[in-house]
Amino acid sequence: MVGVNAYTEAEPSPLSGGESSIMTVDPAVERDQIERLQAGAPHAMVPTVKAALDELVSAAREDRNIMPASIACAQAGITTGEWTDVLRAVFGEYRAPTGVARALASATAAGRGAPRGRDGCRGDWAGA
């Protein structure tokens, strides 16, 4: 027979409840936490946060080991985004060479314009 499922038994879903179910946060608790976070001092103005970020900048600029400063940042509650923003400001951001710009420049110089994709489009989505 085609289309008949011989396996009718299944494990209970972890979404359906019980001790192993996925935890959901009470909306009132979520609202309370958001209000407390918004009422607090701006994160970057907290002295421990500022000191940890300043030490990270110093360590990065002076070519020292940034691990102790990074640990201090984590202990001060600095987010990964804040940490990476500081390091990008000091070191810049690496862009791996893909060859795409070189291919486009080569095609343009040869008078062919932007290379066409398999569908015949030039990939010029801004004008579409």
Calpha distance 49→63 (Å, rounded): 21
CB 86: neighbour CB atoms within 10 A? Answer: 21
Residues 6+ apart with CB under 8 A from 27: none
Q: What is the pLDDT along the chain (128 residues), one digit of tens a residue?
A: 677 777 777 777 767 666 667 777 899 999 998 888 777 666 666 888 999 999 999 999 999 999 999 999 999 989 899 999 999 999 998 887 777 767 666 766 666 655 555 555 544 444 44
Residues 6+ apart with CB under 8 A from 60: 66, 69, 86, 87, 90, 91
Q: What is the pLDDT of residue 125?
A: 40
Q: What is the pLDDT of residue 92?
A: 93
